Amino acid sequence: MNILVVGGGGREHALAWKLAQSPSVKRIFASPGNPGIAQVATCLPAPADVAGYVELARENAVDLTIVGPEAPLVAGIVDHFRYQRMRIIGPTQAAARLEGSKIFAKEFFKRAGIPTARSEQVGSAADASDALKKFSYPVVIKADGLAAGKGVVIAYSKAEADAAIAQLGPHLVMEEFLDGEEVSFIGLSTGDFLFPFAPTQDHKRVFDGDQGPNTGGMGAYCDARILSADQVEIIMERVMMPAVYQMAREGTPFTGFLYAGLMMGPEGPKALEFNVRLGDPETQALMHNFPGDFAEVLNLVTVGKGTIKGRTSTRCSACVVMAAENYPSKPRLGDEITGIAQAEGAGATVFHAGTKIENGRLLTSGGRVLGVTAGGDTLRDAIDRVYAAASHIHFDGMHYRRDIGEKGLKRW
């Protein structure tokens, strides 16, 4: 089986890395890919639009395409492939509105009966200012469209709220702030059922102790103990399956990866958001911990035959994102990266995100540069191993959080 991975970040490197371990996979292509992905796949230039990926897949005899980032899904890449009767993992453009529009998602939660935070949807700065009066602080303000994980502001005062409205507007969701523990719950949907993966916990704020602005994600860990078996059952019953059933009722069956950002509080899970693809950096932790043939799972879902067996690992994994100076605003670029071989020699897998090769040197080319990932029999083992490995890596202006997974360690 030949597989095309669409994207060029750390998530896509983790997918290509895992797929390369499958005996059923002959060749892996990635578009556009990155220097790390090039170690396990053939990297191809990205076409001018999503329709161009169909021709790219056809030219390279691709049997299955998997899409990493959200933008191609929202732009309708799956529709183009299905029109040509070519296999692809992901939702249609209509179904991808679950992530493409926060306003659509909040209205969908109501139709599906999915528990979520109280909110107001607004279409202008004036409406937003009026809506603010209905909430106490802190208040959560979300941009309606795609924002690479940086379209959410938690405002602790009216001044902060006004600044967020000016920055993110005019189409916004104003939402009550929920207390609790945030969890990433990801499943793979066939359109009428959803196969859940192990729970993960992302670390969105740029600095230790959950301080500073939101980012695309500064690290994640995977540990089955994040949720109890009863909590998983409740999430499936109250959030995931109602979403799958409602999408089918509305004539837009959801296929592909469905990622629920959840707040676990005293009233049970409440949905903060839905994403229509795998998370980044959650995927790095998930793939490192996935106890089986991932290509086999993808094949079963797209062919529609066979049974996906439960795959729960007792091992743990952690991913630490190495970011460039000034990320997430205007990251510093073009610095040479060293120490990756030493980090991998220390027992980690280093997934490339924002890297490029120039004149034979590996340089930074994005805000999130690398995802150092390691596993262990316990979460403590995984965390110790990942930070020992990360200490070998250097580039000027490098920044990473030192507390990835600490919430889990305090919990158990």
CATH number at residue 341: 3.90.600.10
Residues 270, 192 share a domain = yes
Choose the final residue of a domain: 274, 303, 332.
303
| Residue that wins the pLDDT comparison between 310 and 21 | 21
In a domain, 234, yes or no: no
In a domain, 106, yes or no: no
Residues 206, 128 share a domain = no
Residues 298, 191 share a domain = yes
Residues 72, 147 share a domain = no
Residues 170, 193 share a domain = no
The 10s digit of each residue's pLDDT in 280-326 is 999 999 999 999 899 999 988 887 655 666 556 789 999 999 999 99
Choose the final residue of a domain: 42, 69, 89.
89
| Calculated CA dihedral for residues 118, 122, 126, 130, nearest 10 degrees | -20
Determine contact, residues 255/190, Cβ cutoff 8 Å.
yes
Residues 194, 299 share a domain = yes
In a domain, 310, yes or no: no
CATH number at residue 138: 3.30.1490.20
Two tokens, residue 321: 């994102």
Number of domains in the chain: 4
Check residue 303 and give its pLDDT: 78
In a domain, 97, yes or no: no
The domain containing residue 197 runs over which residues?
A: 184-225+239-303
Q: What percent of the chain has pLDDT over 90?
A: 93
The kind and range of the H/E element at 67 are strand 64-67
Residues 296, 399 share a domain = no
| pLDDT higher than threshold 60 for residue 249 | yes
CATH number at residue 75: 3.40.50.20
Two tokens, residue 122: 């607004």
The 10s digit of each residue's pLDDT in 138-195 is 999 999 999 877 799 999 999 999 999 999 989 999 999 999 999 999 999 999 989 9
| Helical residues (DSSP H) of 334-378, grouped into ranges | 340-345
| pLDDT higher than threshold 70 for residue 374 | yes
Residues 277, 192 share a domain = yes
In a domain, 11, yes or no: yes
Two tokens, residue 374: 């390691």
Residues 323, 376 share a domain = yes
Kindly indicate the confidence band of residue 412, based on its pLDDT and cuts at 50, 70 and 90.
confident
In a domain, 95, yes or no: no
For 129-138, the CB contacts below 8 A with 24+ separation are 129/162, 129/165, 131/174, 132/158, 132/161, 132/174, 134/174, 135/174, 135/175, 135/176, 136/176, 137/161, 137/177, 138/177
pTM: 0.95
In a domain, 61, yes or no: yes
CATH number at residue 274: 3.30.470.20
Residues 320, 294 share a domain = no
Check residue 306 and give its pLDDT: 53
Determine contact, residues 157/211, Cβ cutoff 8 Å.
no
Residues 188, 172 share a domain = no
Residues 400, 362 share a domain = yes
In a domain, 96, yes or no: no
Choose the final residue of a domain: 253, 282, 303.
303
3: β partners: 28, 64
**Strands 200-202, 316-323: pairing kind:** unpaired
